[in-house]
Amino acid sequence: MVLKKKSMSIEVPFIDTIVEINAVDLQKLDKKSIKLDLTRILHGRSTEATFMISVNDGRATAELKKLVLLPFYIQRAMRKGISYVEDSFSCKTTDNNLRIKPFLITRNKVHRAVRNALKIKAQEAIREYCASKNTSDIFSSIASGKLQKELALKLKKIYPLSFCEIRIAEIEKAKKTGNNKV
């Protein structure tokens, strides 16, 4: 017997949209992930989002798990005679742990001490920002550019930046706690 796929509706509250997906059964979509290109929604900032589908009471909703700034968007900002700073660290929010990877481009070539100072100050500022907010607020502020603007203003005191973005922001997997006996 051949099962026919039907069009299923999935709510995506992050972008206030309903996405249609072809599937055999709505229950088979539970805990599956989908990727959506948010370039048009974010007015040209080439971003890809990964959502996790959850099915409750016959309704499917998609929760944001990862935001990625596509590499070609960053490559357009790169040029000769500049320095760049990239970092990866974990920060706690009120409800989850996030892995955040900022990417900074200076206006001119700078010494390693300046790049290191930018990296440390960016980590402090992002951790301070994330400590009092929940995950959905942080993702929406990254998508709108609010976090990046605040970060650029704080880092401007060390050295002016031509590009300040969050390259990747994703929810880290929760670690199991308890006694593991072998």
Where in the sequence is the domain holding 78, given as residue range(s)?
71-171
Whether 12 is covered by a domain: the verdict is: yes
Q: What is the DSSP string of 145-174?
A: THHHHHHHHHHTTTS-EEEEEEEEEEEPPP
Give the residue from 24, 44, 69 where a domain finishes.
69
- CB burial string 44-53: b at 16+ within 10 A, e below: eebbebbbbb
Q: Who contacts 44 (Cβ-Cβ below 8 Å, separation ≥6)?
A: none
Question: Could you say which residues of the chain have pLDDT below 70?
Answer: 174-182
Which phi and psi (to 5°) does residue 78 adopt? -75, 145
Whether 182 is covered by a domain: the verdict is: no
Whether 177 is covered by a domain: the verdict is: no
- DSSP assignment letter at 143: H
105/138 same-domain check: yes
Look at residue 174 in the predicted model and tell me its pLDDT.
55
Taking only the tens place, the pLDDT of each residue in 67-115 is 999 999 999 888 999 999 999 999 999 989 999 999 999 999 999 999 9
Give the residue from 19, 44, 69 where a domain finishes.
69
Look at residue 102 in the predicted model and tell me its pLDDT.
96
Which amino acid appears at position 144 of this protein? S
* Residue 72 CB burial class (10 angstroms; 0-12, 13-18, ≥19): exposed
Q: How many CB atoms lie within 10 A of CB 129?
A: 20
CATH number of residue 154's parent domain: 3.30.479.30
Give the residue from 20, 35, 69 where a domain finishes.
69
100/158 same-domain check: yes
Whether 146 is covered by a domain: the verdict is: yes
Whether 88 is covered by a domain: the verdict is: yes
Whether 179 is covered by a domain: the verdict is: no
Which of 179, 129, 131, 180 is CA-nearest to residue 154? 129
